[in-house]
Amino acid sequence: MARTSGSSSQKTGPLVRAAALRLFAQHGFAAVSMRQIAAEVGVQAGALYRYTPDKQGLLFELMKVHMEELLSTWAEVDAGPEPLSRLDSFVRFHILHHLDRADAVFISYMELRNLTAENFAQIEAMRAQYEQVLEDILVACGGEGLGDPKLTTLAVLAMLTGVNTWYREGGRLDREAVVQTYVAMVRRVVGL
Amino acid sequence: MARTSGSSSQKTGPLVRAAALRLFAQHGFAAVSMRQIAAEVGVQAGALYRYTPDKQGLLFELMKVHMEELLSTWAEVDAGPEPLSRLDSFVRFHILHHLDRADAVFISYMELRNLTAENFAQIEAMRAQYEQVLEDILVACGGEGLGDPKLTTLAVLAMLTGVNTWYREGGRLDREAVVQTYVAMVRRVVGL
DNA sequence: GTCTATACGTCGATAGAC
DNA sequence: GTCTATCGACGTATAGAC
């Protein structure tokens, strides 16, 4: 029996998350009210609580889904054993994946302090896991200039994620040009 | 005639700004109330309006002072004409200056979206000015690997500012070790 | 599954006493 | 220069009708 149109139960949930994602990214978690999110979706504020236990739960789910997707997508993309091509591939993946999810990336960096301690610990663990991915690649590459693997990892990630703060579609450089420039810069940072 | 103790007019203003700086950095601009700031200072909320026109003005002044100090302090530190030593000196300056002002740095990156359009434009202009400082140095260095000066500038600044997100006093590396590692990494990024 | 109505607290900012 | 008192608006979250 096909449910034709009546119930929006399978639509409203995703709409709530999409609206929250956009509004949190634009104005900040604390500055956005449940009423605003509801208005964006086209329902009354009370209806939101069918889809989230509370505002905090909404923020946490957005960040959790983002981090899970980051880790699982890399696992799919990750090609193979050759270290240097893995490094290039990681740089490309990180930049493009982050550019495609600017709102979620922004929230995941800016709103960490608005998570409860328990929720923060979960997100933090996934972030550390992602850092470890790059550190392992860098160690496998083992460039001569690679002094401290931890520091190099953090420096490279900061460099790559920084692209999100200035890149605009239709600007002077397209994505491919940015990726290639960063691939070259990262190689130099690690001394290869 | 020495005013001995009575009036606190010369003390409260700075205390208000110090409290706001700390609280905004910890909880975010939107999440902090004027009542919280007043409680931290030890006055009632109404008294704050002797020292700022409104909450927005308080945020703006913190960011404005921070950017002005960043630019003027570099102008003092900037040594001379030799490009490569200027680059090293900029890296050292940026890292240490930022580590010494973690709260102001954090606010200046996170709360840009809470500025009015007019205030944002002023801060943005000073940020662009600071970026130009590094770009000029990089161009003067003119390393062979230096592909796009704008991109390299942004990548290096992201790398350097990223230190603030993980550095903790008393950790595995002291400031000097961090500075030296980053000086070496930045030289490699620009191909020198 | 969404609505209306509401409990109850806090917000930024101002007025006027002292 | 700081206080107390207050305005009107808005915050999250819940209860119960439909």
A110–B181 C-beta distance less than 8 A:
no
d(CA B184, nearest CA chain A) in Å: 9
Question: pLDDT tens digits for B153-165?
Answer: 999 999 999 999 9
**Does one domain contain both B75 and B113?**
yes
Assess B157–A contact: CB distance below 8 Å, yes or no.
Answer: yes
**Does one domain contain both B124 and B163?**
yes
Share of chain B above pLDDT 90, in %: 89
| Other residues' Cβ atoms within 10 Å of the Cβ of residue A171 | 9
**Structural domain count of chain A:** 2
Q: Could you tell me the distance in Å between the CA of residue A47 and the C1' of nucleotide D18?
A: 14
User: What are the Cα distances from residue B188, in Å, to A55, A152, A174, B22?
Assistant: 45, 12, 25, 36
Please indicate, yes or no, if residue B185 is contained in any of the structural domains. yes
A181–B148 C-beta distance less than 8 A:
yes
Residue A129, CA atoms < 13 Å, CB-side half-sphere: 14
Chain B hits for A155, CB-CB cut-off 8 Å, are 159, 162, 182, 185
Question: pLDDT tens digits for B65-110?
Answer: 999 999 999 999 998 889 999 999 999 999 999 999 999 999 999 9
Q: Could you tell me the distance in Å between the CA of residue A25 and the C1' of nucleotide C3?
A: 29
Whether B173 has a pLDDT exceeding 80, the answer reads yes
**Does one domain contain both A44 and A86?**
no
What letter would DSSP give residue A100? Answer: T
> Chain A window 109-138: which residues touch B at a Cβ cutoff of 8 Å?
110, 113-114
Please indicate, yes or no, if residue A138 is contained in any of the structural domains. yes
**Does one domain contain both B13 and B66?**
no
Q: Is A190 helix (H, G, I), strand (E, B) or coil?
A: coil
Q: Which residue is nearest to nucleotide C3 (CA to C1')?
A: A44
Question: Which tokens sit at A14?
Answer: 């995703």
For position B30, which CATH number holds?
1.10.10.60
Q: How confident is the model at residue B130 (pLDDT cuts 50, 70, 90)?
A: very high
d(CA A105, CA A96): 12
Question: pLDDT tens digits for A106-156?
Answer: 999 999 999 999 999 999 999 999 999 999 999 999 867 688 999 999 999
For position A101, which CATH number holds?
1.10.357.10
**Does one domain contain both B59 and B117?**
yes
Chain B hits for A185, CB-CB cut-off 8 Å, are 151-152, 155, 189
Please indicate, yes or no, if residue A3 is contained in any of the structural domains. no
Assess B161–A contact: CB distance below 8 Å, yes or no.
Answer: yes
Q: Could you tell me the distance in Å between the CA of residue B72 and the C1' of nucleotide D4?
A: 43
Assess B155–A contact: CB distance below 8 Å, yes or no.
Answer: yes
Assess A191–B contact: CB distance below 8 Å, yes or no.
Answer: yes
> For residue B129, which phi and psi values (nearest 5 degrees)?
-60, -40
Cβ–Cβ pairs < 8 A, chains A and B: 86
Alpha-helical regions (H) of chain A:
9-27, 34-41, 55-77, 83-99, 102-110, 117-141, 149-161, 163-166, 175-189
Final residue belonging to a domain, choices B52, B72, B88: B52
Length of chain B: 192
What pLDDT shows up at residue A1?
40
What pLDDT shows up at residue A145?
67
Share of chain A above pLDDT 70, in %: 94
d(CA A155, CA A151): 6
Please indicate, yes or no, if residue B174 is contained in any of the structural domains. yes
**Does one domain contain both A38 and A133?**
no
Nearest to B185 among A29, A30, A155 (CB): A155
**Does one domain contain both B48 and B59?**
no
**Does one domain contain both B39 and B91?**
no
What pLDDT shows up at residue A8?
57
What pLDDT shows up at residue B35?
98
Whether A80 has a pLDDT exceeding 90, the answer reads no
**Does one domain contain both B97 and B113?**
yes
Question: Which tokens sit at B78?
Answer: 């900037």
Summary mean pLDDT of chain B: 94
99-128 of chain B touching strand C, CB 7 A cut-off: none
Q: Is A33 helix (H, G, I), strand (E, B) or coil?
A: coil
Summary mean pLDDT of chain A: 94
**Does one domain contain both A73 and A21?**
no
Question: Which tokens sit at A39?
Answer: 């208005």
Q: How far is CA B34 from the centre of its chain?
A: 23
**Does one domain contain both A84 and A33?**
no
Whether A5 has a pLDDT exceeding 70, the answer reads no
Chain A hits for B156, CB-CB cut-off 8 Å, are 159
- Tell me the mean pLDDT in the region B32-54: 98
The model carries a pTM of 0.95
Whether B7 has a pLDDT exceeding 80, the answer reads no
Please indicate, yes or no, if residue B1 is contained in any of the structural domains. no
d(CA B107, CA B104): 5
Nearest to A159 among B159, B166, B178 (CB): B159
Q: How confident is the model at residue A4 (pLDDT cuts 50, 70, 90)?
A: very low
Chain A hits for B188, CB-CB cut-off 8 Å, are 145, 188-189, 191
Please indicate, yes or no, if residue B88 is contained in any of the structural domains. yes
- Tell me the mean pLDDT in the region B29-42: 98
Domain of B92? 55-189
Query: Is any atom of nucleic acid chain C found less than 7 Å from the CB of residue B32?
Result: yes
What pLDDT shows up at residue A3?
37
Q: Are A21 and A103 in contact (CB under 8 A)?
A: yes
- Tell me the mean pLDDT in the region B110-133: 98
Please indicate, yes or no, if residue B156 is contained in any of the structural domains. yes
Q: Are A6 and A20 in contact (CB under 8 A)?
A: no
Query: Is any atom of nucleic acid chain C found less than 7 Å from the CB of residue B35?
Result: yes
What pLDDT shows up at residue B170?
97
Q: Are A131 and A71 in contact (CB under 8 A)?
A: no
- Tell me the mean pLDDT in the region A86-110: 98
Q: Are A155 and B182 in contact (CB under 8 A)?
A: yes
Region of B115 (left: φ > 0; alpha: ψ -120 to 50; beta: rest) is: beta
**Does one domain contain both A48 and A76?**
no
d(CA A15, CA B49): 41
Pairs from B56-60 (Cβ < 8 Å, separation ≥ 24):
B56/B114, B56/B115, B56/B116, B56/B119, B58/B16, B58/B17, B58/B20, B59/B20, B59/B24, B59/B29, B59/B107, B59/B111, B59/B114, B59/B115, B60/B115, B60/B116, B60/B119, B60/B122, B60/B123
- Tell me the mean pLDDT in the region A36-42: 98
What pLDDT shows up at residue B87?
97
Please indicate, yes or no, if residue B2 is contained in any of the structural domains. no
Q: Are B160 and B95 in contact (CB under 8 A)?
A: yes
Per-position b or e across A95-118, b if 16+ CB within 10 A of its CB:
bbebbebebbbbbbbbbeebbeee
State which H helix or E strand residue B133 sits in: helix B117-141
A95 contact partners, CB below 8 Å, separation of at least 6: A160, A163, A175, A178, A179, A182
B180, burial (CB in 10 Å: exposed 0-12, middle 13-18, buried 19+): middle
